[in-house]
């Protein structure tokens, strides 16, 4: 069972101070990777569970809003790409298989390269 905690970070010189407010724990690391690992270790130690059971969300308070928006935009982009691939596959199937259009004509109709139509169509010419 994974437990998720926020680790609030603040850079002080060459170090990252790590605060886990939910558990009133504190640590530090020289890099973000080290800070995340230390957060996971101290949480696991405090809860007496394996470190692999701990998920840590790194939060830099001064950058929280732009990071949240960037992550949300990325998630939306991934979803849109998946939806596009599904729609293209359906369109290629209808155009090429059901209506008998050539891959070249399907390419023209969809506004994508013929090679992409070929890949979607399973390489059938």
b/e per residue 90-108 (b: at least 16 CB within 10 A): ebbeebbeeeebebeebbe
Residue pLDDT, tens place only, 42-82: 999 999 999 999 999 999 999 989 988 999 999 999 999 99
Distance from C-alpha of 41 to C-alpha of 3, rounded to nearest angstrom: 13
The residue ranking higher by pLDDT, 101 or 125, is: 101
| 3-59: CATH topology | Double Stranded RNA Binding Domain (3.30.160)
pTM attached to this predicted model:
0.63
The pLDDT of residue 90 is above 50: yes
Percent of the chain with pLDDT over 90: 90
Residue 125: the pLDDT is: 43
Domain with CATH 3.30.160.250 in the chain: 3-59
Task: Give the C-alpha separation, 71 to 65, whole Å.
Answer: 10
């Amino acid at each position: 069972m994974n437990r998720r905690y926020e680790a609030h970070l603040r850079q002080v010189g060459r170090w990252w101070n790590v605060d886990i407010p939910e558990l009133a724990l504190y640590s530090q690391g020289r890099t973000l990777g080290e800070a995340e690992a230390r957060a996971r270790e101290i949480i696991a130690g405090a809860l007496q569970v394996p470190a692999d059971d701990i998920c840590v969300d790194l939060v830099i308070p001064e950058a929280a809003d732009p990071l949240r928006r960037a992550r949300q935009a990325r998630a939306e982009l991934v979803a849109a790409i998946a939806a596009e691939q599904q729609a293209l596959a359906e369109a290629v199937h209808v155009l090429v298989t059901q209506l008998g259009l050539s891959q070249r004509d399907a390419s023209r109709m969809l506004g994508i390269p013929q090679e992409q139509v070929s890949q979607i169509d399973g390489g059938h010419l």
